[in-house]
Amino acid sequence: MADLVNNFIVLEEDTQSGRYLTFNLGKEFFGIEIKYVTEIINMMPITSVPGLPNYIKGIINLRGRIIPVMDIRLRFNMNVLEYNDRTCIIVALIDNTDIGFIVDSVSEVLTIPESDIVDPPEMNKSSNKFIKGIGKVGEDIKLLLDYHSLLSCDDAEIFTNLAGG
């Protein structure tokens, strides 16, 4: 029986391997590993919490779960845009903490083979710190995010505390 369970877990991981949820911020398209995504929700009221960095918008109550929310656009120092009906929150489980990421819109789930992923160029370490790879999809590219680098050590502690952990 244990072998069946272990085989199922390996099979489940294999089906998620190389799969990315793609979303956009302005005209740029990004991808995040689907294995971290727990759900995608429409924008909802966010309760701000004083004293946080500007890109941590606050917390939401999602069916009784308190989830801290980060605006990725602000985290990347991009222009502020007013939220609209396409704006949504990607809820992801990072290091056992649910975190919401605000994006302009979600596109699709893509399988990007490892052979179609290249390292980001060595231009400026600080500008590439959030990107773990560049996925080639036909004539397009998707910037593949490193979720862990989105959170500084201080952010990780803030998110854990906000989530009640």
pLDDT in tens, 78-113: 999 999 999 999 999 988 889 999 999 999 999 999
pLDDT in tens, 109-146: 999 999 999 998 876 655 578 899 999 998 999 999 98
Residue spans of beta strands (DSSP E) within the chain: 19-25, 28-33, 37-42, 56-62, 65-71, 88-94, 97-103, 105-111, 117-118, 131-137, 140-145
How many separate domains does the chain show?
A: 1
Give the domain range for residue 111: 19-162
The β-bridge partners of 41 are: 89
Assigned domain for 11 exists: no
The β-bridge partners of 145 are: 131
Assigned domain for 144 exists: yes
Q: Look at residue 22 in the predicted model and tell me its pLDDT.
A: 96
pLDDT band per the 50, 70, 90 thresholds, residue 151:
confident
Q: What is the CATH number of the domain that holds 139?
A: 2.40.50.180
Dig out the tokens for 107 from the structure.
Answer: 């596109």
